[in-house]
């Protein structure tokens, strides 16, 4: 990751981090990626546990790598730990954030899946499934917008917004494989175009 | 489904659905299958899950996949990980769910951390930093595009498009422009969507 903040984490901070991810887990309807805005607010803006650049790097590396999108959470925990000074802390960061983001939602999923399957014709179940849809969509689009503002300096970063907008338009209208777009974005960045 | 394939009876509550012809042999089989599946998923695992579980390994029928996906998507938690929990749970109970979950996360997270470590070695090279900046911009666009694609489903929503679009736009303003914390936004706008939908649905 890029050079980041040097921070000191107390046990209280670790517990706070864990508790925050437990709550985020329950809020992550639509996937962990839809709570990215909240993670950014908490990790970067409120606590300064990592820089904006590190946050954006973590998301980009996780997206470029194989595996479920939720692994960006492991990378955020890793980064916080590294900023706190050691690889031991980094491993702790991975365990704390990943356990936090997975535990409540997984338990809830296992408990609810049988019940929901048996009762899927219930009016309340259908109302919940369909009623959440506008919010889930709004959350996803907000996440993309928050991430597009890489350093918050729109005047200098406008080529990045152009890339984001182009990528969104191409993915929306075509069935091109994401790897080609990531490769194109990487090439444009490596050549200093963005 | 060809008639000569053995039918497993793992869907006793839905006799109208054809049972899946195949199922994993063991928890290890589950773990390996989900590890291989996750490692194929660049930029999203969902298409790989569908291809592997339904078309190649035939652990689920298409109907089962769609039903379970609806639940996995509605519940909190990463959708594809939720789906892997359901498949593992159905085959071997809790230990199966844990095997599938571990397959989805264990090796892939080591790969991600290895990539991040390699990246750190070259982060001072402006070309590498630039490449990642470009990829991050693409990623942001990809997430917006996913949201826009899903927005098309609002046309078939029980509520009028004007209502659902307003709720989605309010969410974008609250989260992306005003940068409000998510929980109150989720409770207020999600709750409004659920209540309005409930009143609209036939009892």
> How does pLDDT run across A69-84, given as a tens digit for each residue?
899 999 999 999 999 9
Residue B10 placed within a domain: no
Mean of the per-residue pLDDT values of chain A? 87
Residue B3 placed within a domain: no
B110 and B135 part of one domain: no
Q: What is the pLDDT of residue A51?
A: 93
Residue B17 placed within a domain: no
Residue A91 touches chain B, beta carbons under 8 Å: no
Q: What is the DSSP letter of A153?
A: -
Which of B73, B102, B122 terminates a domain? The answer is: B122
Tell me the sheet residues that pair with B42.
A66
Q: Map tokens 């006793």 to a residue.
A: B12
B116 and B136 part of one domain: no
B130 and B113 part of one domain: no
Count of CB atoms within 10 A of residue B39's CB? 17
Q: What is the pLDDT of residue B44?
A: 61
Residue B135 touches chain A, beta carbons under 8 Å: yes
CA atoms within 13 A on the CB side of A38: 25
Q: Which of residues 129-188 of A touch B (CB under 8 A)?
A: 129-148, 150, 160-161, 163-172, 178-179, 181-182, 184-188
∠ CA(B163), CA(B166), CA(B172), 5° rounding? 145
Q: How many domains does chain B have?
A: 2
Residues B141/A144, Cβ–Cβ less than 8 Å? yes
pLDDT tens, position by position, B19-37: 556 888 899 999 999 999 9
Task: Flag if A106 and B77 touch (Cβ within 8 Å).
Answer: yes
Q: Which of residues 8-67 of B touch A (CB under 8 A)?
A: 13, 38-45, 67
Cα–Cα distance for residue pair B79/A68, rounded to 1 Å: 9
Cα dihedral sign, A175-A179-A182-A183: negative
Q: Is B182 helix (H, G, I), strand (E, B) or coil?
A: helix
B156 and B186 part of one domain: yes
Residue B158 touches chain A, beta carbons under 8 Å: yes
Residues B135/A59, Cβ–Cβ less than 8 Å? no
Residue B15 placed within a domain: no
The residue of chain A with its CA nearest to that of B40 is A66
Task: Flag if A65 and B105 touch (Cβ within 8 Å).
Answer: no
pTM of the model: 0.73
CA atoms within 13 A on the CB side of B168: 26
Element (H, E) at A19: helix A11-27
B99 and B131 part of one domain: no
Residue B13 placed within a domain: no
Q: Is B42 helix (H, G, I), strand (E, B) or coil?
A: strand
B112 and B140 part of one domain: no
Residue A191 touches chain B, beta carbons under 8 Å: yes
Q: What is the pLDDT of residue A33?
A: 77
Six-digit token pair at A146? 């928050």
- Minimal C-alpha gap between B2 and chain A (Å): 27
What's the Cα-to-Cα distance from A149 to each of A71, A78, A142, rounded to whole Å? Answer: 22, 23, 11
Domain boundaries of chain A, sorted by first residue: 11-115, 121-190
Residues of A in contact with B138 (CB under 8 A): 163-164, 167, 181-182, 184-185
Q: Which of residues 38-67 of A touch B (CB under 8 A)?
A: 38, 41, 45, 56-67
Q: From the CA atom positions of chain A, what is the Rg in Å?
A: 18
Residues B74/A131, Cβ–Cβ less than 8 Å? no
Residue B169 touches chain A, beta carbons under 8 Å: yes
Residue B110 touches chain A, beta carbons under 8 Å: no
B76 and B110 part of one domain: yes
Which of A60, A132, A147 is nearest residue B74 as measured by Cβ atoms? A132
- A65 burial (CB, 10 Å; 0-12 / 13-18 / 19+) is buried
**Residue A2: pLDDT over 60:** no
Residue B138 touches chain A, beta carbons under 8 Å: yes
Cα–Cα distance for residue pair B189/A164, rounded to 1 Å: 27
Domain that holds residue B31: 27-122
User: ipTM strictly over 0.85?
Assistant: no
CA B110 to chain centre: 20
- Minimal C-alpha gap between B33 and chain A (Å): 13
Which of B103, B122, B141 terminates a domain? The answer is: B122
B102 and B130 part of one domain: no
Which of B62, B87, B122 terminates a domain? The answer is: B122
**Residue A163: pLDDT over 50:** yes
Contacts of B109 (CB under 8 A, 6+ apart): A67, A71, A74, A94, A98
- B18 burial (CB, 10 Å; 0-12 / 13-18 / 19+) is middle
Cα–Cα distance for residue pair A109/A6, rounded to 1 Å: 37
B115 and B61 part of one domain: yes
Q: Is B76 helix (H, G, I), strand (E, B) or coil?
A: strand
Task: Flag if B144 and A110 touch (Cβ within 8 Å).
Answer: no
Task: Flag if B132 and A32 touch (Cβ within 8 Å).
Answer: no
Six-digit token pair at A52? 């904006």
**Residue B16: pLDDT over 50:** no
pLDDT tens, position by position, B63-117: 777 667 767 777 888 888 999 999 998 889 899 999 999 999 999 999 999 989 9
What's the Cα-to-Cα distance from A127 to each of A124, B48, B159, B164, B194, rounded to whole Å? Answer: 5, 29, 11, 13, 5
B175 and B162 part of one domain: yes
B41 and B113 part of one domain: yes
Which of B38, B71, B149 is nearest residue A67 as measured by Cβ atoms? B38
pLDDT category at A41 given cuts 50, 70, 90 is very high
Q: What torsion, rounded to 10 degrees, do the Cα atoms A87, A91, A93, A98 define?
A: 160
Q: From the CA atom positions of chain B, what is the Rg in Å?
A: 21
Which of A45, A126, A171 is nearest residue B145 as measured by Cβ atoms? A171
Phi, psi of A66 (to 5 degrees): -70, 165
B60 and B107 part of one domain: yes
CA atoms within 13 A on the CB side of A26: 9
């Amino acid at each position: 990751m890029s050079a980041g903040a040097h921070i000191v984490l107390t046990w209280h901070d670790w517990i706070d981090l864990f508790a925050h991810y437990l709550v985020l887990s329950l809020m992550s309807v639509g996937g962990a990626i839809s709570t990215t805005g909240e993670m950014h607010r908490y990790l970067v803006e409120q606590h300064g546990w990592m820089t904006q650049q590190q946050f954006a790097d973590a998301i980009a590396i996780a997206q470029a790598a194989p595996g479920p999108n939720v692994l960006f959470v492991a990378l955020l925990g890793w980064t916080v730990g590294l900023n706190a000074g050691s690889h031991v802390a980094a491993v702790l960061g991975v365990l704390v954030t990943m356990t936090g983001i997975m535990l409540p939602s997984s338990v809830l999923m296992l408990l609810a899946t049988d019940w929901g399957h048996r009762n899927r014709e219930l009016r309340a179940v259908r109302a919940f499934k369909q009623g959440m849809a506008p919010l889930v969509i709004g959350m996803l689009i907000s996440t993309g917008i928050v991430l597009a503002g890489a350093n918050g300096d729109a005047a200098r970063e406008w080529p990045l917004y152009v890339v984001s907008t182009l990528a969104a338009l191409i993915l929306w209208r075509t069935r091109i494989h994401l790897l080609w777009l990531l490769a194109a974005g990487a090439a444009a960045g490596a050549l200093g175009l963005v | 489904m060809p008639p000569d394939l053995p039918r497993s009876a793992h869907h006793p509550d839905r006799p109208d659905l054809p049972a899946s012809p195949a199922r994993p042999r063991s928890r290890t089989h589950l773990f390996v299958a989900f590890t291989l599946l996750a490692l194929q998923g660049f930029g999203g695992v969902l298409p790989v899950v569908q291809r592997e579980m339904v078309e190649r390994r035939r652990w689920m029928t298409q109907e089962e996949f769609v039903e379970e996906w609806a639940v996995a998507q509605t519940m909190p938690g990463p959708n594809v990980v939720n789906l892997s929990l359901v498949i593992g749970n159905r085959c071997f109970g809790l230990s199966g769910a844990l095997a599938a979950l571990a397959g989805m996360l264990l090796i892939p997270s080591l790969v991600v951390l290895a990539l991040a470590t390699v990246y750190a070695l070259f982060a001072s090279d402006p070309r590498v930093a630039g490449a990642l900046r470009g990829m991050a911009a693409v990623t942001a666009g990809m997430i917006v595009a996913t949201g826009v694609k899903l927005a098309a489903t609002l046309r078939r929503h029980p509520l009028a498009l004007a209502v659902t679009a307003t709720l989605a736009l309010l969410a974008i303003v609250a989260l992306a422009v005003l940068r409000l914390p998510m929980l109150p936004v989720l409770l207020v706008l999600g709750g409004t969507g659920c209540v309005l939908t409930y009143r609209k649905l036939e009892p």
